[in-house]
């Protein structure tokens, strides 16, 4: 009986390690954005397409995250936040994680290609390859890797749009742009309050290379750009005035909070602002998605 319990416990821990490789929190956020892209599409999609794009997207994002963990396992050993992950601790071998990530990548291409369309599969493949083979190595070469990594990071809503429309057009590009621009202040804030961890791991973030002041100024610039980009859906006819008003209000609040960081007398060492911007960014994105849903619901019934 004891041996059976030990074996079951071992299998449970193994499953948890494989799940940890996928970074479930990131997968969930990406699925929300993918569903948002589907919801905004001009024509409703069959329920089978919904299932295929969500499962296929989840597999693609999970695969990219797992490959990322393999490539960064040495650096992860030097960071407090990541040193207990399966690979740094030795609980899992790199080849096992690579096989797992490869199977997820294959599953995502098959599911998206046959379940939605091959354009969506191709866009997902681009995101997977650019995240793994371009962004991840560049993190130790240049702080510009943040901008480069924001490109595959902004793909999820585009996957939803292309799955529904089988086309790359302007509304889909705007959805991509919103998520791309949003990522910049979000990750700049993380880079400030985890500056020492990133420095220990040899990751060249803006705060590590150019200082926290430059990082804050960049966050303000990106938050300012987020306002017109988020409003662009209304002139294109995708959303109405309800969304435009809500998006403008949320954008101004987000911008105001980023500007607040420069008023701190100790902004060179103040991580409180960075944590506040990080939390606010996590509120902003779902709130913007809810504004989209509310606007579309209002248009449908009124």
Give the pLDDT means over successive 10-residue stretches in the chain (302 positions). Answer: 56 89 92 88 86 96 95 87 88 94 97 97 96 92 91 94 93 93 94 88 89 91 96 91 94 93 61 90 90 81 68
CATH 1.20.120 positions along the chain are 169-302
pLDDT of residue 135: 93
- Give the single-character DSSP code of 268: T
3-state helix, strand, coil in the chain (%, to 5): 80, 0, 20
Ranges in the chain annotated CATH 1.10.357.140: 1-166
Q: For the chain, what is the radius of gyration of the CA atoms?
A: 20
Residue 131: what pLDDT? 95
Compute the distance between CA of residue 117 and CA of residue 49 in angstroms, rounded to an integer. 9
Looking at residue 293, what is its pLDDT? 82
pTM, rounded to two decimals? 0.89
Q: Does domain 169-302 have CATH number 1.20.120?
A: yes
pLDDT value for 4: 54
Q: At what angle do helices 94-115 and 47-71 cross, to 10 degrees?
A: 160
Non-local CB neighbours of 253 within 8 Å, separated by 6+ positions: 280
Domain 1-166 has CATH 3.40.50.720: no
The phi-psi region of residue 202 (left if phi > 0; otherwise alpha if psi is between -120 and 50; otherwise beta) is left
Query: Tell me, what DSSP letter sits at residue 262?
Result: G
Res 184: pLDDT: 95
Residues 6+ positions from 302 with CB-CB distance below 8 Å:
none
Q: What is the residue whose two structure tokens read 């499962």?
A: 55
Please report the pLDDT score of residue 180 as a whole number: 95
* The pLDDT of residue 237: 87
31-to-131, 157, 186 alpha-carbon distances in Å: 17, 8, 18
């Amino acid at each position: 009986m004891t041996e059976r319990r030990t074996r079951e416990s071992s299998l449970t821990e193994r499953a948890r390690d494989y799940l940890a490789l996928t970074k479930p929190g990131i997968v969930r956020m990406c699925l929300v954005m993918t569903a948002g892209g589907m919801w905004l599409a001009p024509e409703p999609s069959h329920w089978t397409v919904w299932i295929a794009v969500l499962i296929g997207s989840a597999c693609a994002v999970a695969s990219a995250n797992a490959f990322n963990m393999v490539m960064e396992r040495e650096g992860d050993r030097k960071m407090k936040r990541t040193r207990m992950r399966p690979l740094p601790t030795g609980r899992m071998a790199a080849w096992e994680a690579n096989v797992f990530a490869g199977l997820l990548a294959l599953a995502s291409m098959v599911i998206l290609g046959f379940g939605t369309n091959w354009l969506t599969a191709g866009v997902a493949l681009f995101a997977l390859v650019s995240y793994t083979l371009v962004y991840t190595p560049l993190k130790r070469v240049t702080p510009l890797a943040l901008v480069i990594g924001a490109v595959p990071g902004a793909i999820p809503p585009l996957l939803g749009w292309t799955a529904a429309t089988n086309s790359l057009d302007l509304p889909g590009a705007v959805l991509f742009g919103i998520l791309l621009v949003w990522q910049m202040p979000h990750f700049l804030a993380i880079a400030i309050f985890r500056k020492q961890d990133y420095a220990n791991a040899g990751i060249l973030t803006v705060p590590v290379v150019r200082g926290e002041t430059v990082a804050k100024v960049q966050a303000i610039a990106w938050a300012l750009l987020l306002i017109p980009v988020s409003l662009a859906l209304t002139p294109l006819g995708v959303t109405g005035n309800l969304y435009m008003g809500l998006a403008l209000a949320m954008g101004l609040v987000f911008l105001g909070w980023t500007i607040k960081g420069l008023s701190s007398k100790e902004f060179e060492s103040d991580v409180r602002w960075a944590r506040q911007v990080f939390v606010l960014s996590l509120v902003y994105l779902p709130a913007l998605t809810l504004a989209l849903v509310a606007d579309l619901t209002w248009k449908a019934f009124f």
